[in-house]
Amino acid sequence: MLIKKYISCALIFIFLIGGSFFISHNSKVFAEVHEHQQHGGHGQHTHSIKTTEVIVDVETSPASIKAGSMATILFSIKDKEGKPLQDLTITHDRLLHVVIVSEDFSVFAHIHPEDFGPITPEMKKTAKFMVRYPFPKAGHYLIAVDSAVKDVPFSEHFTIDITGEPKMDSFKKDFSREKQFEDYKVTFTSKPERIAAGKEITLKYAINKDGKTVTDLEPYLSAPMHLAIIMSNLNNFIHTHGEVPGALTAQQHTVGHFHGTVPEKFGPEIEAHVVFPAKGVYQIFSEVKHQGKVILLNFMVEVE
């Protein structure tokens, strides 16, 4: 069986092979490289684009995954000639970041091959990396993988269907800007308030616990905050990072990447700079760490 689908000018081939579900993403991945120049004593960013071609093959076992059963997801990363890619570099303390999100936005996971054992020389040589996950509901899921080639980040995502019971519901719109997450009360704002596609937006979080501002947040995977932003139709995915307001210089700030040194303790405010690629509804999952525990926040925005 062959299904053709075009994503970002790339062909995705879906094959059924033996007891596994095999997907090949042959895509040109674009990463921004920012150069800082001084003009008349004022800092100014100029942007150049580097292109690197990466092939991501994804294989799941079993082929037909039922809700509640453990599945293995194997990523094979190759260069444009189809050879195992040898130039992967660690970003934010991990070689690969894998994000799993259900279509109704009720399920979220941010996992890594390192969570299941050390990265071995053989894994690096073959550029094959595995994660496992027990999909809790039947329905449509996004699976995204982020890594870097010679420190140039790339991201790829695909979707998969899970069978069985229980089935997930349709996602519900909720544009609340103040929410309670366990003991934490979080206020979420954007600047500007109306979000337009293709323009840089600043997202701001203010975090309180038990009526007091939280000033002792801790770094999580070498960043103040990790954000996974998913469009409601699962067609767009962004993995970006938060910043401590005022902690970065102009040279260190680039959209989508965190380049500064994270303070040992910070808060109560975190901000993130994001460019939404298209209009639509997006769910924003955000992870912060406090007193040794990772706290998952989620907010929804509509982009014009």
The stretch 276-292 carries a mean pLDDT of 98
Residue 252's pLDDT band, with cuts at 50, 70 and 90, is very low
Q: Can you tell me the distance from the alpha carbon of 1 to that of 15, in angstroms, rounded to the nearest whole number?
A: 6
Higher per-residue confidence, 146 vs 28? 146
* Model pLDDT, residue 30: 33
Distances (CA, A) of 78 to 23, 38, 68, 126: 13, 38, 31, 9
Question: Does 200 have pLDDT greater than 50?
Answer: yes
Residue type, 238: I
| Residue ranges matching CATH 2.60.40.10 in the chain | 3-162
Residues 6+ apart with CB under 8 A from 20: 59, 60, 61, 62, 63
Q: How many CB atoms lie within 10 A of CB 183?
A: 11
Residues of the chain with CATH 2.60.40.1940: 178-303
Taking only the tens place, the pLDDT of each residue in 173-197 is: 999 999 999 999 999 999 999 999 9
| CB-based contacts of 268, cutoff 8 Å, min separation 6 | 206, 207, 208, 213, 214, 215, 217
In this structure, are residues 216 and 290 in contact, taking their beta carbons and an 8 Å threshold?
yes
Of the candidate ranges 50-64, 108-122, 153-167, the one whose mean pLDDT is the lowest = 50-64
**Mean pLDDT of the region 137-163:** 93
The overall longest dimension of the chain from CA atoms, in Å, is 64
**What is the reported pLDDT for 150?**
86
Q: Is the peptide bond before 134 cis (omega within 30 degrees of 0)?
A: no
Mean pLDDT of the chain: 83
At a CB cut-off of 8 Å and minimum separation 6, what does 155 contact?
29, 144, 145, 146, 237, 238, 239
Pick the CATH number of 178-303 from 3.30.70.330, 2.60.40.1940, 3.40.50.2000, 3.40.1180.10: 2.60.40.1940
Which of residues 295 and 19 earns the better pLDDT score? Answer: 295
Report pTM.
0.82
3-class secondary-structure state, position 96: coil
Give yes or no for residue 205 having a pLDDT over 60: yes
Among 8, 9, 81, residue whose Cα is nearest residue 237: 8
CATH topology of domain 3-162: Immunoglobulin-like (2.60.40)
